[in-house]
Chain A
C-alpha cells in the first residue's frame, strides 16, 4: 500500500469514528428530546413592594440554567419600577438533586399556604439581601420575599 493510499484509509477510518459519535448524538438527542422534564419549566412572576422608600412594582422570570446533572440551578431575573427609578436584578436559586434548596445555602423555616398549595419556606442571606423562597415540587418557586436595607418586595408566580 503506497503512502497516498494508506493515508486515505486512515482518513476514512477517522471519518467513520467521527460519524459514530455524531450518530449517537443525534439518536440520543432524539430520545432525550421526547422527555419533558418539569424542572425545565420557565415561570413568570409579578412583584410589588418598596424600593428606596418608594412604592414599586415589577415583573420577573426564572430560567433553568443547570451547570451539572446533580443539581438544579435557576436564574431569576426581575425588574422593579418605582416613580423614581428602574432596577434590574439577578438571583441564582440552587437546588440539590432531591429538589430541595441547596443545604449549604438555605435554611428551612416553615410552611406557607399559597392558594391551594402548601409550600415549604427556605431562607438565604447574601450580599446584604435576605430572601425567602416558598417552594413546591420540582423546584417550582411560588413566592419569593426579599428584604434588604433599601428594599422590601414580594414576587408571586403568575398563573
Chain B
C-alpha cells in the first residue's frame, strides 16, 4: 500500500540557476515526513520534482520503480496529491464541489455515487463534514486549509504533499492541522510530506525529518537525529539549545543570531 519514491542523483535548475544537485532520496514507508530548511533553499522545488511539475534536469525520479518522465500527469495524480500553499484566493463554489475537484484523476465527466461518498468521507476525516454545502469563500483560513487537505485526500493518494500548510495559521490550528495530518498518515497508511517552518511543530509530529540546505540534503532521519544544535547552526546560522520533551527534541532559541 505504501508508495516507494526514489530520487536518484536528481538535479533541478531554473534555466541556468541550479537549485538542486545530486539528490538521493528514498521514501518508502508511511508516516508524516517534514521538510525543513531555510527560506529560498528550494523546498517547494523539491516537492515539484516528485510529481513532475518540474522536470529534473539530471538524474531521475521513480515512483514504484517507474520513471516519472514516462508517466502522464494523470497517472502520477492517482498516486500523489499536492496541496498548494494557501493563496488567499477563494472561489464561489461549495465545499463539496471543491473537494470533488480532487476526483478528476479518477472520475469521468459525470460524478458517480462513489465519487461523492469518497469526497464526503474525506471531508469527515478533516472534520469539515458539516460544512459540505457551505460556500468556500465564507470559510476562515483554518477551514480553507482543511478543505484543501480533503481535496488532496479525494485523489486517494498514497503520497500527500503539502506546501507550508501551517504558515498562515495560529498556534491552535497549527497543532490541530499537524496532528490531523499525522493521524491521517497513520490511519490510512500513506506518506504525508509537509513543508514546515516551525522546528518544534515538526519535531513533535513527524516520523521523519528531511533537512535541506544549500542545494542538497543536509540530514535525513528521526527528529532526534536531525534536530541538534550543530545541525541547526549549520543550516540556519542561529545558536540554539535542544532539550528533550516527551522523547522529542525541543528547540530553544537565544536572543541573538
A–B direct touch, CB within 8 Å, in complex? no
